[in-house]
Amino acid sequence: MDRNEVRVYVIQSLREVLADREVPLIEESTDPMRGLGLDSEDGVDLACTLSDKLNFDIPHKINPLIDDEKKRPRRVGEIVDLVYEWLEPNKEGNNGGH
């Protein structure tokens, strides 16, 4: 799966988490917490939705909406990069190291 495919899944998952709310255009620079009105609890829903869509378990200690090291919300592009990085080692393990 390439990064653009991951981006599509992240945006679809954000739209699902937003459910009934009006959803503005979501770009890589969008801050889901400040720009879309999500909170840290929505990060749990996002992680579950992404896990289901990608058939990959996102670590329970990670909230995709929050960058704990930088102590700030992640932007959509950062979430895409994070998920893409998680999938890469998994991909290698499933393809015999390729």
Span 79-85, average pLDDT: 95
Q: In this structure, what CATH number is given to the domain that contains residue 73?
A: 1.10.1200.10
Higher-scoring residue by pLDDT: 49, 93: 49
Beta bridge partners of 67: 72
Number of domains in the chain: 1
Q: How many CB atoms lie within 10 A of CB 48?
A: 14
Query: Whole domain around residue 32: which residue ranges?
Result: 3-93
DSSP code at position 79: H
Q: What is the band of 80 on the pLDDT scale with cuts at 50, 70, 90?
A: very high
User: Per the domain annotation, does 80 fall within a domain?
Assistant: yes
Amino acid 3 reads R
The span from the CA of 36 to the CA of 58, in Å, is 22
CA distances from 32 to 75, 82, 88 (A): 7, 15, 24
pLDDT of residue 23: 84
pLDDT of residue 91: 56
User: Per the domain annotation, does 26 fall within a domain?
Assistant: yes
Residue 6, pLDDT > 90, answer yes
Q: Render pLDDT for 21-69 as a digit per residue (tens, 0 to 9).
A: 888 899 999 999 999 999 999 999 999 999 999 998 888 888 999 999 9
Q: Is-contact 43 64, C-beta < 8 A?
A: yes
User: Per the domain annotation, does 30 fall within a domain?
Assistant: yes
